[in-house]
Amino acid sequence: MQVGFIGLGAMGLGMARNLAKAGLLAGVYNRTAAKAQALAAELAVVTAYADITKLAADMDVVLTCVSADSDVLAVVAAIAGTAKAGTVVVDMSTVSSGTAQQAAVLLRAKGVAFVDAPVSGGVEGANNGTLSIMIGGDADTLDKVRPVLEAMSSRIIHVGPTGSGQATKAVNQVMCAGINQAVTEALAFAAAQNLPMEKVIDAVAGGAAGNWFLDKRGKTMTSGTFAPGFKLALHHKDLKICQRMAENAQVAIPLSVMTITEYEQLMAAGHGDEDISALFRLKSGH
Please indicate whether residue 169 is annotated as part of the active site. yes
- For ligand NAP, the closer CB: 97 or 200: 97
CA angle centred on 273, ends 262 and 270, rounded to 5°: 60
Is there a contact between 98 and 125 (Cβ–Cβ < 8 Å)?
no
CB of 182 to ligand NAP, least distance (A): 18
Question: How far apart are CB 59 and ligand NAP at their closest, in Å?
Answer: 16
Minimal CB distance residue for ligand NAP: 9
User: Which C-beta is closer to ligand NAP: that of 231 or that of 281?
Assistant: 231
Q: Give least dist CB 75 to ligand NAP, A.
A: 5
> Residue 194: CB partners within 8 Å, gap ≥ 6?
none
**Marked catalytic residue, from 169, 231, 237, 283:** 169
52 or 200: CB nearest ligand NAP: 52
Q: In terms of CB distance, is 24 or 152 closer to ligand NAP?
A: 152
- Alpha helices by DSSP H, the chain: 10-21, 33-43, 52-58, 69-82, 97-108, 122-128, 139-150, 164-192, 197-205, 212-222, 232-249, 254-268, 279-284
CB 56 to ligand NAP: min, Å: 12
Binding site for ligand NAP (CB under 6 A): 7-12, 30-32, 35, 65-67, 71, 74-75, 93-94, 119-120, 122-123, 229-231, 234, 238
DSSP of 260-271: HHHHHHHHHTT-
* 103 vs 123: CA distance, rounded Å: 25
Which residues are marked as active site? 169
